[in-house]
Amino acid sequence: MKDFLPILKSLKSNYIAALLFITQVAITFTILVNAIFLALEKREVISRPSGLDEHNIFYVATNLPVKDAEKKALLEQDLLRLNAINGVTSAAVSTGLPLTGWGRLVEVATKPDTKYDTFSGYYGGDAQLVKSFGVELIAGRHFKKEEELTARVDGYKIASEAMVTKALAKSLFDESWEQIVGQTLYINNKPQRIVGVVKTLQSAWPSWVVVEHGVISAVKETDGIVNFVIRTESGVPTSVVDQTLSYLMETHGRKIDKVEMFTDVKARAYSAENAASKTLLGVIAGLLLVTTLGIYGQSRYGIVKRFKLIGIRRAMGASKGEIIRYFMLENVILTCLGVILGIISAIVLSVAFSNVFELGTVPMSYMIYGSVCTLLLGQVAVFYPAFRAAQLPPAVATRIV
Amino acid sequence: MVIYYIKLACLSLWQTRSLSILAILIIAVGISATMTTYTINYMMTKDPLPSKSDRVFLVRLNNWSPEAAYRNRAQERPPTYLSVQDTVNLIKQNKAQGHIPIAGFKDMLKLPEQGAIDAEMTFVRATSRDFFSSFEVPFLYGSEWPQSVDENGEQVVVLSKKMNQTLFAGENSIGRSLMLGDHQFKVVGVLDDWFALPRFYGDSMRAFKAPRDIFVPFQTQINLELWTSNLQSYECWKEPENTTVAALWASECVWVFFWVELSDKAQKPEYLAFLNAYVQEQQALGRFQRPIINELQTAAEYMQERRAYSSDSKIAVWLAGCFLVLCLLNAMSIIMTKFQGKAAEVALRRAVGASSFDLVQQYTLETSIIGVLGGVLGLIMTHICLYVSSQLYTHLSKDIMSMSVELMLATVILSVVSSLLFGLFPIIRAIGVQPAKQLKSL
């Protein structure tokens, strides 16, 4: 610590270089903390569970190419045949799938004839849909086969039972959400009894505020395009997909609108977040590289300029360790000043971002970890120039300008 | 004299080559990060119709249930789309210079001679002939369909260049036929390369995807009753009479985006008055039982309201801007190191009569060479970064990841100006040496 005062004095005499260094550290710290925070925030969004058994599900969007009156029969036959395919755990029909970007939404209220309490995504299908999604039941019971109904469109209008997601139950009943089982909710002003609660089932739009809200009813819809949700045992074998398609194509006039693995649906839904987080990681890598180079270059410059001083100190009896320690301590002091400035500007930037772009602010723990990392980075970058300086023979060093 | 300075600068750059290369590299990294993010952001948020931004409008009529406001908003706003009947009525009244309905459907597309197995599910855009002139869409072969086609709903199509390549190997396909579902259509036009960025006219969720590849008249979709229920969003406050498509057309369900091009800005109040009069007329018939709050919205306002612009790209520009400053500070300290080693040379030159202005000139030249090289290298790196981004950002159209000539020029200028600005300080420091003191120590 006896080096502390000499360091401050030498910094004072060369304050421009010191200021430059401090500014660099501050900027690095500001970008680093904000970029890591944003990247992790994106990662968190991507890793949210959809509620589905994601790796074992694919879906086929197709039509029912018969007259309206015969659609129900064909749909039931399709479901029977699809369930019979070897390797299929469960097949069901649904009005939509999570994260596809196309789906239904309903208004949910706890009292009749009032304005809605919240919005929710809506899925209608046969009694097996919950099982085919692979969604976990956490309260109440599943739909019974005899509760199943068929509608042409807008199944929620004729449904009398419904299941909801835990997130929706919580938004209506807070911590006593389990009480929702047996209660009556008004879905688009139509009373429906809640029979069960599922853990998670996201709606069709990943960026929706209430993406975790979901209502499921046991009403199959036959109009236009129907979605067959097919769950298999482990992974989706191509043979199952082939058998499904070849069965479906047996019916004359069938159009296959889409065949997609659920993992692909999810990757597509989050491609923006994924790309953004990768870009941010690239920025962080570039940042660390440039800053390390910068600190290295500046320390080297500062040391080369002081060769004479080093030579004199060595000649007066300072050990190599003392020389190294001197420069490392100098680096710590400068980096600390930079980090303090950086914390202030990081908070300012983060608050500005959160105001303009509706993001969360960077939590304090990021500042602490960021400071430690920046300090370490500085020490690593300065070590080699300091080590080289210490190796300089005093006789040579004193001769150099 | 300038040539002599350039020679000196090159010599000096060569002498300190490792530091010079480092400075150039660091500037290039900073420039490319900034320009990549800036290009993406610029392409995403640029005005899609610069020449007409103040006279092309989205028509919004307040067609919703008498009981509740649209989407129950506290501040009531009309839906962004119209019902089929209102669209048809407004086109018939013909009060604007251009009427552009944006509808569409999906169907199986094939050539008449191909078998059903070769048919591909294809997205079709249904619109009017004004689409092409109002949105400035260039034609390669043929032209838009004539007015009479819009009125009668004949079976004609306009293809994109890409679709023409796929179906007809890129040759002039005017007069050829193709099948959409069970209907035969005749090709009347083929578009040239056309990027609508952002693609403002339809669903804002898909604003950064490429336009559809096949266009048919709106009236044809109506006449043939082509409807795909899971393609575009549609909202109904009142059920259609029955389940037929014809009933949907006659219903109050809203789903058609309707744009108008007016002859000039001044016509806007006039057209709004016309819309209000139209709604009043309809009110007399028992429709539109809500306050008249019709709107004419520009493309930019519509995109803003639907939050089509993601904030990510703006944040990236900010972060990259900070990163550039950091890189320049770094380059500044490197240049300072470089000039520090030249104190003796400066002293010698000052001693034999060079003015400080001469030296400033010489070193400025050297710094600007670093700036130019950094800019050029930065430009190359920007192109690489944009290529990588286009692979990474699969949800965005590839056309976003391209630079215009202006942007390229701006890149190099940014590099030179910023390196001169940040190089000025090291130069002033360098020429500030005391000649006598330096010479003594030689």
Is B298 a domain residue? no
Q: Can you say how many angstroms the Cα of residue B59 is from the centroid of all Cα atoms in its chain?
A: 22
3-state secondary structure of A68: helix
Top pLDDT among A245 and A8 is at: A245
Write down which residue in B293, B318, B347 finishes a domain: B293
Assign A1 a pLDDT band (cuts: 50, 70, 90): low
Give the bridge partners for B123, in sequence order: B106
Q: Do A34 and B319 touch (CB under 8 A)?
A: yes
Q: Is the pLDDT of residue B430 over 80?
A: no
Q: Can you say how many angstroms the Cα of residue A154 is from the centroid of all Cα atoms in its chain?
A: 32
Write down which residue in B262, B293, B324 finishes a domain: B293
| Residue among B381, B410, B384 at smallest CA distance from B25 | B381
Q: Do A290 and B330 touch (CB under 8 A)?
A: yes
Q: Is the pLDDT of residue B308 over 70?
A: no
Q: What's the rounded Cα separation, in Å, for the pair A26 and A32?
A: 10
**Could you tell me where the DSSP H helices lie in B285-355?**
299-305, 311-340, 343-351
Q: What's the rounded Cα separation, in Å, for the pair B206 and A168?
A: 28
The single-letter DSSP state of residue B391 is H
- Concatenating the DSSP letter of every residue in A244-273 gives HHHHHTTSTT--EEEEEEHHHHHHHHTHHH
Q: Is the pLDDT of residue A38 over 60?
A: yes
B-chain residues within 8 Å CB-CB of A258? 121
Judged by a CB distance cut-off of 8 A, whether residue B332 touches chain A is: yes
Residues 6 or more apart from A363 whose CB is under 8 A from it? A37
Q: What's the rounded Cα separation, in Å, for the pair B157 and B228?
A: 18
B-chain residues within 8 Å CB-CB of A16? 429
Interface of B with A in 368-397 (CB under 8 A): 389, 392-396
Give the bridge partners for B185, in sequence order: B178
- Return the residue in B203, B206, B231, B312 with the most chain A beta carbons within 10 A, the one to mutate for interface testing: B312
pLDDT tens per residue across span A311-364: 888 888 888 888 888 889 989 999 999 999 999 999 998 888 888 877 778 888
Q: How many domains does chain B have?
A: 2
Q: Do B336 and A301 touch (CB under 8 A)?
A: yes
* Closest residue in B to A257 (Cα–Cα): B121
Q: B37 with B117, same domain?
A: no
Is B56 a domain residue? no
Q: B108 with B189, same domain?
A: yes
B-chain residues within 8 Å CB-CB of A65? none
Q: Is the pLDDT of residue A397 over 70?
A: no
- Please state the pTM of the whole predicted model: 0.78
Q: B74 with B219, same domain?
A: yes
CB A165 within 8 A of CB A213: yes
3-state secondary structure of A119: strand
Start-to-end CA distance of chain B, whole Å, equals 28
- What's the token pair of residue B404? 């215009």
pLDDT at B125: 96
Q: Do A294 and B30 touch (CB under 8 A)?
A: no
Q: Do B228 and A290 touch (CB under 8 A)?
A: no
Residue B310 has its nearest CB partner, among A101, A223, A272, at: A272
Percent of chain B scoring above 90 in pLDDT? 42
Length of chain A: 401
For A34-61, what is the mean pLDDT?
91
3-state secondary structure of B144: coil
pLDDT tens per residue across span B208-256: 888 899 999 999 999 999 988 778 888 888 888 887 889 999 999 999 9
Percent of chain A scoring above 90 in pLDDT? 40
| Residue among A185, A182, A201, A154 at smallest CA distance from A50 | A201
A-chain residues within 8 Å CB-CB of B430? none
Q: What's the rounded Cα separation, in Å, for the pair A244 and A254?
A: 13
Q: What's the rounded Cα separation, in Å, for the pair B159 and B124?
A: 10
Q: Which residue has the tokens 């002293």?
A: B347
Average pLDDT over chain B, rounded to an integer: 88
Is B305 a domain residue? no
Q: Is the pLDDT of residue A11 over 60?
A: yes
Assign B339 a pLDDT band (cuts: 50, 70, 90): confident
3-state secondary structure of A118: strand
Q: What's the rounded Cα separation, in Å, for the pair A299 and A383?
A: 9
Q: Is the pLDDT of residue A401 over 60?
A: no
Judged by a CB distance cut-off of 8 A, whether residue B22 touches chain A is: yes
Is B299 a domain residue? no
Judged by a CB distance cut-off of 8 A, whether residue B196 touches chain A is: no
Q: What is the dihedral of CA B239, B245, B248, B250, to 10 degrees?
A: -130
Q: B286 with B325, same domain?
A: no
Residue A28 has its nearest CB partner, among B22, B315, B326, at: B326
Looking only at Cα atoms, what is the longest distance across chain A?
Answer: 104
Q: Do A290 and B327 touch (CB under 8 A)?
A: yes
Query: What are the extents of the domains in chain A?
Result: 4-47+272-399, 66-254
Q: B41 with B66, same domain?
A: no
Q: Do A297 and B311 touch (CB under 8 A)?
A: no
Task: Tally C-beta pairs within 8 A across A and B.
Answer: 129
Residue A279 has its nearest CB partner, among B316, B326, B344, at: B316
Q: Which residue has the tokens 């970890």?
A: A369
Residues 6 or more apart from B277 whose CB is under 8 A from it? none
CB A159 within 8 A of CB A187: yes
Residue B312 has its nearest CB partner, among A276, A304, A401, at: A276
- Tell me, what amino acid is at A254? R
Q: Can you say how many angstroms the Cα of residue A32 is from the centroid of all Cα atoms in its chain?
A: 19
Q: B159 with B110, same domain?
A: yes
| Residue among A374, A354, A358 at smallest CA distance from A366 | A374
Give the bridge partners for B108, in sequence order: B121
Q: Determine phi and psi for B60, rounding to 5 degrees.
A: -125, 115
Least confident stretch, A28-32, A70-74, A309-313, B296-300: A309-313
Q: Do A275 and B329 touch (CB under 8 A)?
A: no
Q: Is the pLDDT of residue B436 over 70?
A: yes
Residue A31 has its nearest CB partner, among B229, B323, B334, at: B323
Q: Do A35 and B319 touch (CB under 8 A)?
A: yes
Q: What's the rounded Cα separation, in Å, for the pair B341 and B334?
A: 11
Q: Do A290 and B311 touch (CB under 8 A)?
A: no
* Closest residue in A to B386 (Cα–Cα): A279
The single-letter DSSP state of residue B351 is H
Instruction: Compute how many other C-beta atoms are within 10 angstroms of the C-beta atom of residue A47.
Output: 8
Top pLDDT among B137 and A361 is at: B137
Q: Is the pLDDT of residue A398 over 70?
A: no
Q: With 0-12 CB in 10 A as exposed, 13-18 as middle and 19+ as buried, what is A303? A: buried
Element (H, E) at B256: strand B254-261
Judged by a CB distance cut-off of 8 A, whether residue B299 touches chain A is: no
For A384-397, what is the mean pLDDT?
82
Assign A201 a pLDDT band (cuts: 50, 70, 90): very high
Q: Do A293 and B327 touch (CB under 8 A)?
A: no
Q: B233 with B93, same domain?
A: yes
Q: Do A297 and B108 touch (CB under 8 A)?
A: no
Q: B149 with B20, same domain?
A: no
- What's the token pair of residue B163? 């679709």
CB B173 within 8 A of CB B141: yes
A-chain residues within 8 Å CB-CB of B316? 276, 279-280, 283
Q: B67 with B20, same domain?
A: no
pLDDT at A277: 86
Least confident stretch, A8-22, A117-131, A256-270, B89-103: A8-22
**For the stretch B162-181, what's the b/e string if a residue is b when 16 or more beta carbons lie within 10 angstroms of its beta carbon?**
ebbeebbeeeebeebebbbb
Q: What's the rounded Cα separation, in Å, for the pair B252 and B64?
A: 8
A-chain residues within 8 Å CB-CB of B72? 107, 115-116
Q: Do A20 and B333 touch (CB under 8 A)?
A: yes
Q: Which residue has the tokens 């390669």?
A: B140
Q: Is the pLDDT of residue A163 over 70?
A: yes
Give the bridge partners for B251, in sequence order: none
Q: Domain of residue B140: give its range.
A: 62-293
A-chain residues within 8 Å CB-CB of B37? 279
pLDDT tens per residue across span B37-87: 888 888 888 787 888 888 999 999 999 988 888 877 778 899 999 999 999
pLDDT at B344: 78
Distances from the Cα of A195 to the Cα of A125, A143, A165, B436, angstroms: 15, 7, 11, 95
Q: Is the pLDDT of residue A395 over 80?
A: no
* Closest residue in B to A273 (Cα–Cα): B312
Q: Do A24 and B330 touch (CB under 8 A)?
A: yes
Judged by a CB distance cut-off of 8 A, whether residue B413 touches chain A is: no
**Could you tell me where the DSSP H helices lie in B154-307?**
161-168, 218-224, 245-250, 267-284, 299-305
Q: What's the rounded Cα separation, in Å, for the pair A252 and A290?
A: 64
The single-letter DSSP state of residue B263 is S
Q: What's the rounded Cα separation, in Å, for the pair A293 and B32?
A: 18
A-chain residues within 8 Å CB-CB of B394? 268, 271, 275
Check the CA dihedral B407-B411-B416-B417 and report its sign: positive
Is B53 a domain residue? no
Q: Which residue has the tokens 């304005």?
A: A115
CB A170 within 8 A of CB A209: no
- What's the token pair of residue B4? 């002599």
Q: B144 with B250, same domain?
A: yes
Q: B44 with B69, same domain?
A: no
Element (H, E) at A227: strand A225-232
Strand runs (DSSP E) across A96-218, as ranges?
A: 104-109, 118-124, 137-140, 149-151, 161-165, 184-187, 190-198, 214-217
Write down which residue in B239, B262, B293 finishes a domain: B293
Q: B368 with B287, same domain?
A: no
* Closest residue in B to A153 (Cα–Cα): B243
- Tell me, what amino acid is at A21? F
Element (H, E) at A202: none
A-chain residues within 8 Å CB-CB of B429? 16
ipTM: 0.78
Distance from the Cα of B66 to chain A's closest Cα (Å) equals 14
For B118-146, what is the mean pLDDT?
92
Q: Do B230 and A102 touch (CB under 8 A)?
A: yes
Residues 6 or more apart from B27 whose CB is under 8 A from it? B327, B328, B331, B370, B371, B374, B375, B377, B378, B415, B418, B419
* Closest residue in B to A68 (Cα–Cα): B243
CB A45 within 8 A of CB A270: yes
3-state secondary structure of B382: helix
Residue A20 has its nearest CB partner, among B311, B314, B332, at: B332
Distances from the Cα of B384 to the Cα of A280, B98, B322, B374, angstroms: 17, 41, 21, 15
Judged by a CB distance cut-off of 8 A, whether residue B427 touches chain A is: no
Least confident stretch, A199-213, B58-72, B340-354: B340-354
CB A203 within 8 A of CB A50: no
Q: β-strands A190-198, B156-159: how paired? A: unpaired
